[in-house]
Structure 1
Amino acid sequence: MNVFQSLKSSGAELNSVVYNTVLDACVECSKLEKAEAWMEQMKKDGMSDVVSYNTLIKAHLQAGHMGKARALVEEMRVAQLQPNCITFNEIVNATVSSPDRRVRAEVWKVIQEMQAAGVKPNQVTCSILLKNLNGSSPESDINHTMQLINDMEEQLDEVLLSSVVEACVRIGKPDLLNTKLRQLMSGDIKVNGSHTFGSLIKAYGHARDMKSVWRCWKEMRTRHIKPTSITVGCMIEAVVSNGDPDGAWHLIQELGEDPHCKGILNAVIYCSVLKGFTREKNAGKVWSVYEEMQKRNIDLSIVTYNTLLDCCARCCRMDGVPDILADMKKANIKPNIITYSTMLKGHCQVGDLSAAFKLVKEMREEAGLVPDEIMYNSLLDGCAQSSLVDEGLRVLREMEEAGVKPSNFTLSVLVKLMSRARRVDQAFDLVKELSGKYHLSPNSHVYANLVQACCFSKQLQRGIKTLEEMMERKVQPDKRTYSMLFRTAVQQCQFDKVDGLMRGALGLSGALPFLSNRSLATCPGIEEVAVSETLSSMASSPEGNKVAAGLLVDLRKEKPSVRVDPTVQRCVLQGGQPPQSWTQERRSSKGKGRALVFAP
């Protein structure tokens, strides 16, 4: 202000640039009242312009004054000043970033207002909209944003290309991702930046298009574009997540020999390979990668050590844990809640519950950490695997006393615990009690375990009643729920129940009355082999074969896309059992990825 007054006193020519600089200073210093007062002075002196209004609009939006910002837009029009892209982009950004869902829903009204004012959305507008898209975004928002990009007159540049593919990855729709990648790469965009190559590699990796992943990588390397650690991280993650940790490790070793690239290798990049080998339960390769990291003096993080511990847990090699903890101590890295949770899970998986309980005590006393829901659930699962009901109930009481709220996963594990002890009534009581106490709505996994408990105790009618409750609560049954009910009903020769259940699962007419809502009752994931084996099992008795024949006729008529094994079809229609070779083939497929329901 003093400088401005000096200029004015000296007789220097003052223009809107000088006035706007003062206004900008007020905004930068968070003096909104002074900014508003100065704006009034500018209007009085005839120095206000579009820049002035945009500056003040931005200030009000940052302060959360959406109403005042919108009023300034109207004031601009009255002053015969045309709002421009900057004006609307600021409002669009504030709208989509609002914590209020109702405000966010207004963004398309702002876009319509922008277009009505003759201002066309540009790359900045599209980038703002893309930034806020994710897996929970409404379909309409996704479609409108993609259409805006298609209709944009500006040439799509490298930055926007990167934003589009990253948004498609976040949205999590493979079809959309593949479509946009084909559409974008068919244009004349020349990619020159390592970051954009990284975005494309990540996108192709999610689309499971490894040919294009390697094409992008080779093009970048051929053109001598130096990758950043983020680009390399995207490449390694894409290769690993598509089932080739060996290929990713080989690539890391190649980069390690390149004097221009070895400096960008870090623990995060190596960790992707460690996790890949860990998922494959390949402990030998995990230790080899770990040794290479030590040899290359890679700065190891807590994530690295937690991944190594996860490998011990998955491979049931808890004897390797002390050495890893010793290395952590040597590196002055303290265990965190994930460290303890991973070790706890490993002890529970190998059935060493005494070590698991000892670890929890040690965590509390030495590390000052308290168990979270994941740790309590691991303990409960360990108790369930070892059929330690009383210990499991004690863990549940301790969990509640610690103020840790149970989840649907907790309910599923508790049902499994009670089921293995043949305490079906107590399983139902616990679900009812905890659901009411903690306002939980049991999901399909909880119900599937309840149905399994009923089937194991040969309470078919109760299992069907549980399925009916699922329908009432709008919970869609999964294939496991139906498969267990099919099996139990066949074993008890209740073929009318098998008929009604299978018709409900497949969306056929004649289902059990409570399965009449096809959109909810139909199970898209029911395997065709399960259908074939159910029909073949029914065919072993005259009464069952009659029901199976009726099912097969309606299945051909109403759902011709569902394939039934030709041998089973002949067997059912001819009224006899399938050949022994077919039965043996089905049995031999068990454990090889085939979803067997039962063998006839």
Structure 2
Amino acid sequence: MIAKPPPPPPSSSTISTLSHHHHTLNSTTSLHWVSHPQSSVKLFTSTSSTNTTTANPSRVKAATNSSTSLTTDTTTKPHRDSYDETLLNLLRQRKTEDAWLVYTQSPHLPNPTCLSRLVCQLSYQNTPSALTRAQSIIQRLRHERQLHRLDANSLGLLAVAAAKSGDTLYANSILKSMLRSGYLPHVKAWSAVVSRLAASGDDGPKEAIKLFRSVTRTIRKFPERTMVMNSRPDTAAYNAVLNACANLGWTDKFLQLFEEMPENKCEPDILTYNVMIKLCARIERKDLLVFVLERILEKEIPLCMTTLQSLVASYIGFGDLEAAENIVQAMREGRQDLCKILRDCNSDEFPNENENEVFEKLLPNMNYPTDYEPPLLPKVYPPNTRMYTTLMKGYMKAGWIQGTVGMLDAMRSQDDTASHPDHVTYTTVISALVNVGAMEKARQVLADMTEDGVQANRITYNILLKGYCQQLQLDKARDALKEMVDSGIQPDAVSYNTLIDGCILVDDSAGALAFFNEMRARGIAPTKISYTTLMKAFSVSGQPKLANDVFDEMEKDPRVKVDLVAWNMLIEGYSRLGMLDPVKEMIERMKKKGVYPDVATYGSLASCIALARKPGEALLLWNEIKERCGLITDESKVSKTGSSSSVPILKPDEGLLDTLADICVRAAFFKKALEIVAFMEELGIAPNKTKYTRIYIEMHSRMFTSKHASRARQDRRIERKRSAEAFKFWLGLPNSYYGSDIEIASSK
């Protein structure tokens, strides 16, 4: 048994810099950063010779030469064989910990069989420490250009383990590298990664579709189907990629993949149509839900309760609580004419003609004649706990707390044990009470939950933590965290993100940092939200340099992707202090990385310009905003790229435009101010004339009334005067408002 080696310490420069900035916060709070496991984007190097086709291409091995190793092995062959035999025996006995110890003490690189088995068994353990060990083997082999020693199974299992642990980027990189090197992963391995990517945030669904296409393209290159039988996509793989399309709302791609299934001898199953229900909900096609159910019954696909729960959840998502209640009530009454009930509920729904062409192919039954008799359910489906809980969530969403609590009481008194509340039910009620700030009642429900023998889980406690933080009761939140750990429930990144956010609400950046460090000390990998929330804590407390240090750590972490939210949080920290030069530098830096500013970015920049009292910068910003809105065209960009469409169109909000107009009015840039307020009116935003009138009168009422100004100076002010008079007219002030003074000044 060997303990996990401690991670390498961060660089001394990073620690000293951060500690120096944070010293004023809390002398007892230490700031430390834990280095992240490096992700290998390319697993196989060019030193491996071309793979040769064998009967099983998923296990193709590259021809190698021992001279490619970068290390010198002076161990004799009998000694090497002895080490390898010991290692192999331990692996056969499933003594993975002892095998890992032998591997770390071995003076040479074990043979391919031992290495592949060790990576497989570490992947099977599916723990953070085991995954780190497996990654270290990959890193060593990559360094020594010996990655060809591993077979496809071991790499596929490692990819699955990485995906399950949440490191989908690493999992995706493994599979992509395998494909580039001629390895074909088993369908169970690559479809599991596609499934995880499809359900993840950021660009996960898009990456899932790309990975699916990469695998299927590679498979098509093999003329013999038997050679790639184990890697060909199955129905589960298609369901995973269809789920990615549903999450993105890509109807055309969904149809393309759906129609492709028969080519690979895959038939849609109930999960396929459950995903189709999600697609209808995502693109707001409530009218299609009943047709999906009818199609399932028409094709005689065995119906499951998950389908009915998905229908109820979809109607709740559309805000149609009545239809959701009708489904549950019909199930309670043992009715089988559910399709007819849903048709009657949605008789006034009008289909979206733009999407009809796709769904006419997916759901040909939507074009059946009006006298078509809807099919009946094959049997009676009484509502169960999950169904009642789903409806309960609808009550919670509608703000009907009494109905939510009342349904819990009714479920507790049911004779049918299949309808008794479970941990999801109790957690839903607790969440409803937390949303209205009734923390004592939420605590009582938790006590009832324990009394009924239902075990609370991590989600239950995370909701309690959120409630205490929202009520600014950080001490109770800390007690809840302790109670959670004492109950054997380990907190996760969501738990600590909630606590960090709670510290922000009470302006406790030191506490936020302490929770962040505690999270990493527990071996919990920070998420994108963890980093951005900690950055927010430092930005709000006026410590942008510490926020910048967190941002740098985020960029180094291969498990997360720096997105626009992180950039905006960093920029906001400097903008709050009016530090214009760093803000401009960061915006240019993000543009070079292909991340374009949005309304929030420009809003922070505008606020920074106002604080820095540099109105000239506002004119430059307004020109850039006009470019992004399509009001003017940057010919230089068009000539280089042939199109300016690569930069996303911007739609400014009231806050951004009002800030720019305010700056221009105060600086007497009346021509630009008129441009901005005119644009606001085009967008349907009502400018604050009262505020601008007050600024004009307070700051500019006598700007053209000097009796001692020279004629030359007065001539230079003519254009400015015209703009000012035009702005006065827009404000509703008559041009004669200052007429007497102007005439007197002109006659002098």
TM-score (norm 1): 0.60
Q: How does 1:480-495 map to 2 (within 5 A)?
A: 480-490=600-610, 494-495=614-615
Moved more, 219-228 or 535-544: 219-228
- Residue 425 of structure 1 is matched in structure 2 by 545
Deviation, 1:181, is: 6.2
Helix, strand or coil: the match of 2:727? coil
- Residue 576 of structure 1 is matched in structure 2 by 727
- The answer to whether the Cα contact below 8 Å between 1:353 and 1:382 also exists between their aligned partners in 2 is yes
Tell me the distance in 1 between the aligned counterparts of 2:603 and 2:251: 34
**Number of equivalent positions:** 456
- The answer to whether the Cα contact below 8 Å between 2:245 and 2:254 also exists between their aligned partners in 1 is no
* 1:273 is aligned to 2:412: no
Matching residue's letter, 1:347 = Y
Deviation, 1:262, is: 6.1
* 1:257 is aligned to 2:333: yes
Change (3 A) 1:249 1:130: same
Match of 2:311 among 235, 247, 265: 235
After superposition, what is the alpha-carbon deviation per residue over 1:138-171, rounded to whole angstroms, capped at 9, x for unaligned?
Answer: 569669989xxxxxxxxxxxxx999978854432
Tell me the distance in 1 between the aligned counterparts of 2:316 and 2:400: 14
Tell me the distance in 2 between the aligned counterparts of 1:439 and 1:167: 22
Match of 1:369 among 489, 514, 517: 489
- Residue 142 of structure 2 is matched in structure 1 by none
- Residue 475 of structure 2 is matched in structure 1 by 354
Tell me the distance in 1 between the aligned counterparts of 2:558 and 2:299: 59
Moved more, 538-547 or 214-223: 214-223
Change (3 A) 1:383 1:441: same
Tell me the distance in 2 between the aligned counterparts of 1:107 and 1:210: 46
- The answer to whether the Cα contact below 8 Å between 1:539 and 1:576 also exists between their aligned partners in 2 is no
- Residue 91 of structure 1 is matched in structure 2 by none
Deviation, 1:283, is: 2.3
- The answer to whether the Cα contact below 8 Å between 1:344 and 1:356 also exists between their aligned partners in 2 is yes
- Residue 210 of structure 1 is matched in structure 2 by 286
Helix, strand or coil: the match of 2:669? helix
Helix, strand or coil: the match of 1:576? helix
- Residue 452 of structure 2 is matched in structure 1 by 331
- The answer to whether the Cα contact below 8 Å between 2:191 and 2:240 also exists between their aligned partners in 1 is no
Deviation, 1:381, is: 0.8
- The answer to whether the Cα contact below 8 Å between 1:455 and 1:488 also exists between their aligned partners in 2 is yes
Tell me the distance in 2 between the aligned counterparts of 1:129 and 1:358: 42
Match of 2:246 among 142, 157, 172: 172
Change (3 A) 1:423 1:238: same
Query: Which runs of 5 or more structure 2 residues have no equivalent in the other structure?
Result: 1-53, 63-152, 160-173, 199-204, 218-233, 260-266, 337-378, 693-722, 733-748
Match of 1:283 among 391, 398, 401: 401
After superposition, what is the alpha-carbon deviation per residue over 1:364-410, rounded to whole angstroms, capped at 9, x for unaligned?
Answer: 2x313333222122111111101123333332332333233333322
Change (3 A) 1:193 1:485: closer
After superposition, what is the alpha-carbon deviation per residue over 1:57-76, rounded to whole angstroms, capped at 9, x for unaligned?
Answer: 7xx58xx54689xxxxxxxx
After superposition, what is the alpha-carbon deviation per residue over 1:227-272, rounded to whole angstroms, capped at 9, x for unaligned?
Answer: 5313212211221222334431332122212266764422233333
- The answer to whether the Cα contact below 8 Å between 1:418 and 1:427 also exists between their aligned partners in 2 is yes
Matching residue's letter, 2:482 = K
- Residue 374 of structure 2 is matched in structure 1 by none
After superposition, what is the alpha-carbon deviation per residue over 1:274-332, rounded to whole angstroms, capped at 9, x for unaligned?
Answer: 33444454423322343443346514332222222222333322122223222322332
Deviation, 1:210, is: 0.8
Deviation, 1:341, is: 1.7
Q: How does 1:518-533 map to 2 (within 5 A)?
A: 522=647, 524=649, 526-527=651-652, 529=654, 533=658
- The answer to whether the Cα contact below 8 Å between 1:166 and 1:199 also exists between their aligned partners in 2 is no
Tell me the distance in 2 between the aligned counterparts of 1:439 and 1:141: 21
Deviation, 1:496, is: 3.0
Tell me the distance in 1 between the aligned counterparts of 2:423 and 2:481: 19
Query: Which runs of 5 or more structure 1 residues have no equivalent in the other structure?
Result: 1-55, 69-93, 111-124, 147-159, 186-190, 557-561, 582-600
Change (3 A) 1:437 1:319: same
Tell me the distance in 2 between the aligned counterparts of 1:246 and 1:577: 54
- The answer to whether the Cα contact below 8 Å between 2:661 and 2:676 also exists between their aligned partners in 1 is no
Tell me the distance in 2 between the aligned counterparts of 1:275 and 1:477: 37
Deviation, 1:490, is: 4.5
After superposition, what is the alpha-carbon deviation per residue over 1:397-450, rounded to whole angstroms, capped at 9, x for unaligned?
Answer: 323332333333222222222233333333334444675588876432222122
- The answer to whether the Cα contact below 8 Å between 2:622 and 2:660 also exists between their aligned partners in 1 is no
- Residue 395 of structure 1 is matched in structure 2 by 515
Tell me the distance in 1 between the aligned counterparts of 2:268 and 2:546: 64
Change (3 A) 1:273 1:524: farther
Tell me the distance in 1 between the aligned counterparts of 2:277 and 2:490: 40
Moved more, 538-547 or 443-452: 538-547
Q: How does 1:445-464 map to 2 (within 5 A)?
A: 445-464=565-584
Change (3 A) 1:105 1:215: same
- Residue 546 of structure 1 is matched in structure 2 by 671
Helix, strand or coil: the match of 1:369? coil
The answer to which structure, 1 or 2, has the higher relative contact order (CA under 8 A, 6+ apart) is 2
* 1:382 is aligned to 2:502: yes
Change (3 A) 1:256 1:138: closer
- Residue 436 of structure 2 is matched in structure 1 by 315
- The answer to whether the Cα contact below 8 Å between 1:405 and 1:438 also exists between their aligned partners in 2 is no
TM-score (norm 2): 0.50
Matching residue's letter, 1:371 = P
* 1:413 is aligned to 2:533: yes
Deviation, 1:352, is: 0.7
Q: CA RMSD in A?
A: 5.3
Change (3 A) 1:390 1:542: closer
Helix, strand or coil: the match of 2:421? coil
